[in-house]
Structure 1
Amino acid sequence: MPRRTAPIVSVGARLQAILEAFTETSPLLTLSELSRRTGLPLTTTHRLVGELLAGGLLERDELGRYRVGLRMWEIGSLAPRGLGLRASALPFLGDLFDATRNHVQLAVREGNEVVYLERISARDAVHVVSRVGGRLPLHATAVGLVLLAHAEHEVREQVLAAPLRRFTERTLGTAAQLRRALADVRRDGYAVCNGAVELVSLSVAAPVRDQEDNVVAALSVVVPAKGANPRALIPVVRAAARGISRALGAPSGLRLPVAARHETHVLPEHG
């Protein structure tokens, strides 16, 4: 992570910079590393880290390195979008996991990224790079395509205008490809990504709606790509997503679903 170049003025911004210095690949940092990553003087970093430590927002290990504290998790779990949504979704996530015995994930959109709120996995399930609390680009995942397809027009256009990161040769790489995929998702009510982030995995996702029928989350199952049959997964994923929507009070969750189409949208394998 490069050193910050812009000055950080307020105390709140400095505390935020320290907390944001921790990443999935760098969960443990020394005081010097925190100072370098935030661009703050070592004495300032020491004082602020001490305050975060006293409040339980940071913890220190036996080697003197710092990590995010349990109190941060307690506070984060109170986020309105995550708390009620996760509680409503868990029974349906469990049912979907029992039916598929593979990764089952619940995600929401934040800006131009997917944030994963929950995942249930079998010990021998296919490898995935996503994790609870982790983020991925919207265009590269099935949950992301669902969320982006139902996002505001301005959000979609912003993503379409930006460079699309390629994870594999099957990742959507052009605005034209992405625009077609989003139209298919809105038409069909689900998304299928085959090898878009990792070639070994295939995911199927469907939208979760709130009491105003707005799409507030997406549910997915991730299975090994080899031998996968998306057509068999689509009905159970959509049924679980409808169940969560019904629990959230979505009018569409109370209606009988239209029979699923036989066509499946699979991301192009090249181009």
Structure 2
Amino acid sequence: MVVTKQADSVPALRRAVRVLDMVRGASHPPLAADVARQLGLPRSTTHGLLAVMVELGLLEKTVNHGYRIGTRLLEWVGGAAEKRDLVAEFYHALDGFSGLDSFTITLTLLEGMEVVYVACRSSQTGLSASFRVGMRLPAIFTATGSAILAEMDDTSFREWLTLYPASAWPEPLTSKSVCSVTGLVREIAVIRERGYAVDSENVYEGLWCAGAVVRDYSGHVVAGLGISLLQAEVGRYDIASLGNRAMALAQAVSKRLGYRSVSAA
């Protein structure tokens, strides 16, 4: 068939797409040997393909010689330059942290009354919920969204509530989702005191998440960072330590974006 001949005329493109799919779904940046083994490709072919994909910006090589999705793909998706930088620095910061394999790490932006997921690294153990880039959830139910709202000054928060009053809020996703302005204000006060937000089955039954904010060079909050795990696994950890991990990783991303706290100045 003519279609088959046309498809077979570009085998390198098909291999490249298979590589991208594999890298995207991997829990850790795979090595060249991993790619060759899992896709059944000759090692010489794999090394040549990976080198070209890195050269073209389709992949990036990590300090540990693994491969992750490159920023050029984000450009094609149409993300703004600052968002591409944010996502890239998120993954760079993750490379410098250990002990996070059991958690799903997400990065979100506040858009209106929702958060949109712009980056995600899944845990090795798996979660009952599937996070994906482009997914949207009500900000008031999520740890990352609540953390961002808590960083607003009182005037900005009142303006946000005027734009998005409780009458316009979506139906609670679980029995634990916040459903009133009073409840949200109370939650924000707690977040401001301890420095991080908590979603304890507010979005999905059986899912727990700690959220903290990411700042740019000027100190402006640009994103929320979440560390998620199964609710059943939370008892293995100290809650404060999980919140501190979220804050530490968020601070690392902020530092890569040029932010310096007053104490660090």
> Distance between the aligned counterparts of 2:230 and 2:264, measured in 1?
32
Greater CA deviation, 205-214 or 124-133?
124-133
Please tell me whether the aligned partners of residues 113 and 139 of structure 2 are also in contact (alpha carbons under 8 angstroms): yes
Q: Which residue of 2 aligns with 1:240?
A: 249
Please tell me whether the aligned partners of residues 215 and 254 of structure 2 are also in contact (alpha carbons under 8 angstroms): yes
Letter in 1 for 2:160: V
Q: Which residue of 2 aligns with 1:38?
A: none
Please tell me whether the aligned partners of residues 115 and 133 of structure 1 are also in contact (alpha carbons under 8 angstroms): yes
Letter in 1 for 2:216: D
Higher helix share: 2
> Distance between the aligned counterparts of 2:110 and 2:138, measured in 1?
10
Structure 1: state its 5+ residue gaps.
1-70, 257-271
Please tell me whether the aligned partners of residues 146 and 190 of structure 1 are also in contact (alpha carbons under 8 angstroms): yes
Please tell me whether the aligned partners of residues 102 and 125 of structure 2 are also in contact (alpha carbons under 8 angstroms): no
Q: Which residue of 2 aligns with 1:205?
A: 211
Q: Kindly state the Cα deviation for residue 250 of structure 1 after the two structures are TM-superposed.
A: 1.4
Is structure 2 residue 228 aligned with structure 1 residue 219?
A: no
Q: Kindly state the Cα deviation for residue 182 of structure 1 after the two structures are TM-superposed.
A: 1.6
Change in Cα spacing, 1:95 to 1:205, as seen in structure 2 (3 Å) is farther
Listed as ranges, the matches of 1:7-18 within 5 Å are: none
Please tell me whether the aligned partners of residues 192 and 205 of structure 1 are also in contact (alpha carbons under 8 angstroms): yes
Secondary structure of the 2:199 match is strand
Q: Kindly state the Cα deviation for residue 123 of structure 1 after the two structures are TM-superposed.
A: 4.4
Letter in 1 for 2:183: Q
Question: Residues 223-264 of structure 1, C-alpha deviation per residue, up to 9 Å, x if partnerless?
Answer: 0101403222112111111111111111328639xxxxxxxx
Count of aligned pairs between the two proteins: 186
Q: Kindly state the Cα deviation for residue 183 of structure 1 after the two structures are TM-superposed.
A: 2.2
TM-score (norm 1): 0.62
Q: Which residue of 1 aligns with 2:163?
A: 158
Structure 2: state its 5+ residue gaps.
1-71
Q: Which residue of 1 aligns with 2:126?
A: 125
Q: Which residue of 2 aligns with 1:13?
A: none
> Distance between the aligned counterparts of 1:188 and 1:83, measured in 2?
30
Change in Cα spacing, 1:135 to 1:173, as seen in structure 2 (3 Å) is same
Listed as ranges, the matches of 1:163-182 within 5 Å are: 163-182=169-188
Please tell me whether the aligned partners of residues 96 and 104 of structure 1 are also in contact (alpha carbons under 8 angstroms): no
Please tell me whether the aligned partners of residues 97 and 103 of structure 1 are also in contact (alpha carbons under 8 angstroms): no
Q: Kindly state the Cα deviation for residue 208 of structure 1 after the two structures are TM-superposed.
A: 0.5
> Distance between the aligned counterparts of 1:207 and 1:189, measured in 2?
9
Letter in 2 for 1:145: S
> Distance between the aligned counterparts of 1:157 and 1:181, measured in 2?
18
Letter in 1 for 2:100: A
Query: What is the identity percentage for the equivalent residue pairs of Structure 1 and Structure 2?
Result: 28
Question: Residues 182-205 of structure 1, C-alpha deviation per residue, up to 9 Å, x if partnerless?
Answer: 222233221011000112110001
